[in-house]
Amino acid sequence: MVSRFDRNRSPSELKEIIAWALLYKGVLLGQEGNVEEALGALSEAIRRFGPSSATPVENAGRALVERAGHLCYLGRYDEALTDCDEFLASYDVEGETQVSEFVAQALLIKGVSLANTDKIADAIEILEKVVARFSGKAAEPLADYIGQAEEILEELCGLEDEA
């Protein structure tokens, strides 16, 4: 892939292309049910190009969110929280429309992970943030994240009332 795309490309463009390829390899493997292999591809993108690497690129940040989703699905909530926090610390820029979808997704995964680690109040706070922050931007897929956050909030608030 690198040799095919390296004509007239800057080193930073090549890094972004490689990170993109690893990201989408992880996405496709995950869609096929090969979650462990997906985690491997996503982890490679993060290791090589993530925020703590010497050569960070945007697609590696997206790989953090994708990996967090897989980790949450596998019940590895603490690891999912770590990935969400790393992504949000590095890429959550207020008003940045390009990353809004990934910020919303990271916050939703963080809320679900917190709820599953019995940190209900923290989960409610994060999910309320999703609804408040993105409600004015109800375009797809943000509308889906808002809807999911509202459904989970309703369930969590019912649990909190019972306690």
Token representation of residue 130:
């999703």
Predicted TM-score of the model (pTM) = 0.85
Q: Which CATH architecture has domain 1-91?
A: Alpha Horseshoe (1.25)
| pLDDT score recorded for residue 6 | 52
Low-confidence stretches of the chain (pLDDT beneath 70):
1-11, 93-99, 137-138, 159-163
Domain ranges (residues) in the chain: 1-91, 95-163
Which one, of 112, 69, 110, 116, lies nearest residue 89 by Cα? 110
Express the helix, strand and coil content of the chain in percent, nearest 5 each. 80, 0, 20
Residue (of 107, 54, 117, 55) closest to 84 by Cα position: 107
Query: For residue 13, how far is the Cα from the chain centroid?
Result: 22
